[in-house]
Amino acid sequence: MRLSIVIAAWNGSTSLRRCLISLVNQLDPEDSEVIVASNFSSDGVQDLLQSVSFLHFISLPSVSTVPELRTRGIERARGDVIALLEDHCTVDGAWAAQMRKAHKLSYSVIGGSVENVRGASPLSWAVYFYDYGPSMLPDVPRVAKSLTGCNISYKTRVLHEVRDRYRNGFHETFINQELQRRGYELYLLPSAMAYHNKKYRLKSSIGESYHHGRLFGALRVSDASFNERAYRVATSLFLPVLLPSRIVLRTFRKKNHVKELVIAFPYLLLLIGAWSYGEFCGYVRRERRNPRK
């Protein structure tokens, strides 16, 4: 089984180097390849590119989005399994072995767990709880309703079935939903671990949350009827209460990182408020305003 690992890189060479160092030593060049699709230059990782034969770098314009980076990396991949990572993550030393083992099962879409690094700021924890909380430990191998896009893998033949859906950008939420509609189950393997490691600024994080929410809403109703749009608009008014409640219940149920949630909660409310308003605007306007943001 040949494994292709596509890393969407947009956080700079320091983050990318940290990600690559955690990954390349657990791979065999005979049956692995790593494809970095980046919107910055390779200057900061030239030594790795020269010393790791199965590491390939694709440089895209600086305005390229994460979904666009993923698409370019997937187009270049030649493995039987394509795994997606992001440069702000590092992986556990057994990550590749766990992914390979999992793909011997019948499941075609397999994702791993995500933990936050120690010493992260309250704002980083807020982003973690909102974006990656569903993949937080502890957990057990199981069929899941959703998987995170920063630690997920697909049998290549399955991705080829939905190629038209990601030609302009790989949005994992909608790709996974389409695969589920086609009868494929999503499988969570907690032992394939990645670690979220990124520093944030409050103003830019709020702006990103708004634009991500707006794009999500626009994509969600791009082909929807008027009645469905009206329903989405109405239900989005409850998101500022519904989303934090889900996060609190999940965290207390797992009995993990409760202290960090309490400290991060004010930031979490700000980010969720921005996302909720953006999602509302996406449903109302439907157009994808400033998708590159």
Question: pLDDT tens digit string along 251-269?
Answer: 999 999 999 999 999 999 9
CB 98 within 8 A of CB 120: no
pLDDT by residue (tens digit) across 242-252? 999 999 999 99
Q: DSSP secondary structure string, 229-289?
A: HHHHHHHHTTHHHHHHHHHHHHHHHHT-SHHHHHHHHHHHHHHHHHHHHHHHHHHHH-S--
The yes-or-no verdict on residue 90 having pLDDT over 70 is yes
Q: Rounded mean pLDDT of the chain?
A: 96
Q: Is the pLDDT of residue 9 over 70?
A: yes
| Mean pLDDT, range 123-152, rounded to an integer | 97
Q: What is the mean pLDDT of residues 97-104?
A: 97
Answer whether residue 292 shows pLDDT above 80.
no
Banded pLDDT at 91 (limits 50, 70, 90) = very high
Domain at 3-196, CATH from 3.90.550.10, 3.40.630.40, 3.30.565.10, 1.10.357.10: 3.90.550.10
Displacement of CA 256 from its chain's centroid (Å):
21
pLDDT value at residue 290: 53
> What pLDDT score does 286 carry?
79
Q: Domain boundaries in the chain? A: 3-196, 202-285
Pair 173, 216: CB distance under 8 Å: yes
Please choose, from the candidates 221, 180, 233, 211, the residue with its C-alpha nearest in 3D space to the C-alpha of residue 291.
211
List, for residues 160-177, the tens digit of each pLDDT value. 999 999 999 999 999 999
Looking up tokens 């999940």 gives 250
pTM across the whole model: 0.95
